């Protein structure tokens, strides 16, 4: 991570083609655009790359989650299960459609704990959102099995794992739909941007209309504005410049993943020399995108010692137990129900009655895992000197 490391002539060429037409809007301007439809082409190529029937581009990974949840019909009165280790966007989108997020533990895959998922399903559950965190797959096949048994749709939050696979099948294609982020720090980036993939034509059509104010996109003689509409929507449209960059980045995605895997393998070898270390459990190491390298120490104190040592060597690693954006007990605004709505919505009803209370202690197994886990982001262009100094620091941590 991230794809901007290898911006080059390919991205410039794609952008220039858009600027030459002067059309930044993804729809209309038929004559002026001379056949250049970058967002539509990006959707087609991204769907084909993942092996999905349809793709819908949107403005961000957060918008992708929101649009997908709306198309799945999730709303007030519903519960959506996701994991307590994710970026805040996953549950922001759930709250934004009026549903209540329910959080599962994560296991040593750092993804959804499948046994805990089963215990969290109620008759109000309407959707399950596993997150393929830090570039590696959740136990998606087990999750799909459980969801099928309960007749629930699975929305895969694949924001951090574009290009990842399990058994050769792309992440995002196991569930009813999969969402992606192309924000500034993602493996493939368009600065801001997102995508939703699905094999369900009706779901795709609903997403396509919802992200564009409800325009039904049916050909009409009177140009834009003359189309019909089936329901109210919003504006989450991707623009042509993003589509152009996306096309160039997508063509490099396999290369980016390959480079990251090479770098990660070296970090992994070095970390494995530390007594008591275990590597993050991988569902399918072949399909890992290697965007991050995570390793678990024997306990919290050991993790602290190794973490301090790495920092002292100038190559500090991330401990997500302390990270305020990715781990449940650190989301003080969620726990306290802080919102701009004067009624307290979405944590309270419009009448001011509490809809949900989140206690910081509900995920003890996740906390026990996160407090002994260290993580390095893996770059595409990691300088040899940097890589060698991290490896050296890891190897010298063996003595601690």
Ligand X SMILES: Cc1ncc(COP(=O)(O)O)c(C=O)c1O
Catalytic residues: 186
**Closer CB to ligand X, 36 or 378, in the complex:** 378
Long-range CB contacts (within 8 A, 24+) of 210-215: 210/67, 210/70, 210/71, 210/234, 210/236, 211/56, 211/58, 211/63, 211/67, 211/235, 211/236, 211/237, 212/27, 212/236, 212/237, 215/27
User: Counting Cβ atoms within 10 Å, is residue 359 exposed (0-12), middle (13-18) or buried (19+)?
Assistant: exposed
Piece of 59-67, 99-107, 237-245, 361-369 that binds ligand X (CB under 6 A): 59-67
**Closer CB to ligand X, 86 or 136, in the complex:** 86
287 touches ligand X (CB under 6 A):
no
DSSP 46: H
**Closer CB to ligand X, 159 or 203, in the complex:** 159
Q: Which of 56, 86, 165, 268 binds ligand X (CB under 6 A)?
A: 86
**Closer CB to ligand X, 181 or 211, in the complex:** 181
Piece of 82-90, 104-112, 162-170, 264-272 that binds ligand X (CB under 6 A): 82-90
**Closer CB to ligand X, 36 or 159, in the complex:** 159
104 touches ligand X (CB under 6 A):
no
Determine the residue with CB nearest ligand X: 61
Piece of 11-19, 57-65, 142-150, 233-241 that binds ligand X (CB under 6 A): 57-65
131 touches ligand X (CB under 6 A):
yes
Q: Considering only CA atoms, which of 37, 92, 47 is closest in space to residue 207?
A: 47
- List the structure tokens of 201: 């034509």
Interatomic CA distance for residues 347 and 183, integer angstroms: 28
242 touches ligand X (CB under 6 A):
no
250 touches ligand X (CB under 6 A):
no
Q: Which of 42, 87, 328, 358 binds ligand X (CB under 6 A)?
A: 87
- List the structure tokens of 251: 């063509």
Q: Which of 60, 83, 187, 319 binds ligand X (CB under 6 A)?
A: 60
**Per-position x/- string for 193-232, each x denoting binding to ligand X as judged by CB under 6 A, each - no binding:** -x--------------------------------------
Piece of 81-89, 220-228, 238-246, 285-293 that binds ligand X (CB under 6 A): 81-89
**Closer CB to ligand X, 47 or 134, in the complex:** 134
90 touches ligand X (CB under 6 A):
yes
Q: Cα dist. 389→36, 49, 386 in Å?
A: 47, 36, 5
105 touches ligand X (CB under 6 A):
no
Interatomic CA distance for residues 315 and 242, integer angstroms: 34
Contact between 289 and 321 under an 8 Å Cβ cutoff? The reply is no
Interatomic CA distance for residues 65 and 188, integer angstroms: 18
For 63-81, b where at least 16 C-beta lie within 10 A, e where not — what string? Answer: bbbbbbbbbbebeeebbbb
Taking the complex as a whole, how short is the minimal distance between the CB of residue 251 and ligand X, in angstroms? 20
DSSP structure string for 316-344: --B-GGG-TTTBGGG-HHHHHT--S-TT-
Piece of 84-92, 162-170, 208-216, 310-318 that binds ligand X (CB under 6 A): 84-92
Q: How many residues does the chain have?
A: 400
**Closer CB to ligand X, 253 or 398, in the complex:** 253
**Bridge partners of 81?**
102, 128
Taking the complex as a whole, how short is the minimal distance between the CB of residue 234 and ligand X, in angstroms? 15
Taking the complex as a whole, how short is the minimal distance between the CB of residue 327 and ligand X, in angstroms? 12
- List the structure tokens of 170: 């792309």
* Residue 291: how many other CB atoms lie within 10 Å: 28
Chain residues that interact with ligand X, rule: CB under 6 A: 60-62, 86-87, 89-90, 131, 157, 159-160, 181, 183, 194
């Amino acid at each position: 991570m991230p794809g901007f490391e290898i911006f080059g002539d390919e991205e410039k060429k794609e952008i220039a083609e858009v600027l030459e037409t002067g059309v930044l809007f993804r729809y209309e301007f038929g004559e002026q655009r001379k056949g250049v439809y970058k967002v539509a082409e990006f959707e087609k190529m991204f769907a084909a790359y993942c092996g999905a029937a349809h793709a819908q581009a949107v403005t961000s990974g957060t918008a992708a989650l929101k649009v997908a949840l709306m198309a799945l019909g999730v709303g007030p009165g519903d519960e959506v299960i996701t994991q307590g280790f994710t970026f805040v966007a996953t549950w922001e989108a759930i709250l934004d459609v009026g549903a209540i997020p329910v959080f599962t533990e994560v296991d040593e895959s750092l993804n959804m704990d499948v046994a805990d998922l089963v215990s969290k399903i109620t008759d109000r559950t309407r959707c399950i959102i596993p997150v393929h965190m830090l570039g590696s797959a959740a136990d998606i096949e087990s999750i799909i099995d459980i969801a099928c048994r309960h007749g629930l749709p699975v929305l895969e939050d694949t924001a951090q794992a574009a290009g990842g696979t399990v058994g050769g099948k792309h992440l995002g294609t196991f569930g009813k739909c999969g969402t992606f982020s192309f924000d500034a720090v993602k493996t493939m980036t368009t600065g801001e941007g997102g995508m939703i993939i699905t094999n369900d034509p009706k779901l795709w059509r609903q997403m396509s209309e919802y992200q564009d104010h409800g325009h039904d996109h049916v050909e009409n003689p009177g140009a834009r504005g003359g189309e019909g509409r089936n329901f109210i929507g919003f504006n989450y449209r991707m623009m042509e410049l993003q589509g152009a960059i996306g096309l160039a980045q997508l063509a490099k995605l396999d290369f980016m993943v390959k480079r990251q895997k090479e770098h990660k393998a070296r970090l992994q070898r070095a970390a494995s020399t530390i007594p008591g270390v275990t590597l993050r459990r991988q569902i399918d190491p072949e399909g890992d995108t290697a965007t991050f390298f995570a390793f678990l120490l024997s306990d919290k104190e050991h993790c602290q010692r190794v973490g301090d040592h790495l920092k002292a060597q100038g190559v500090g690693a991330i401990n997500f137990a302390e990270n305020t954006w990715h781990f449940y007990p650190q989301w003080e605004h969620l726990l306290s129900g802080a919102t701009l709505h004067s009624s307290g919505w979405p944590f309270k009803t419009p009448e001011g009655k509490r809809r949900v209370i989140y206690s910081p202690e509900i995920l003890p197994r996740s906390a026990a895992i996160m407090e002994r886990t260290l993580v390095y982001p893996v770059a595409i262009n990691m300088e040899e000197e940097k890589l060698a100094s991290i490896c050296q620091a890891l190897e010298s941590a063996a003595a601690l």
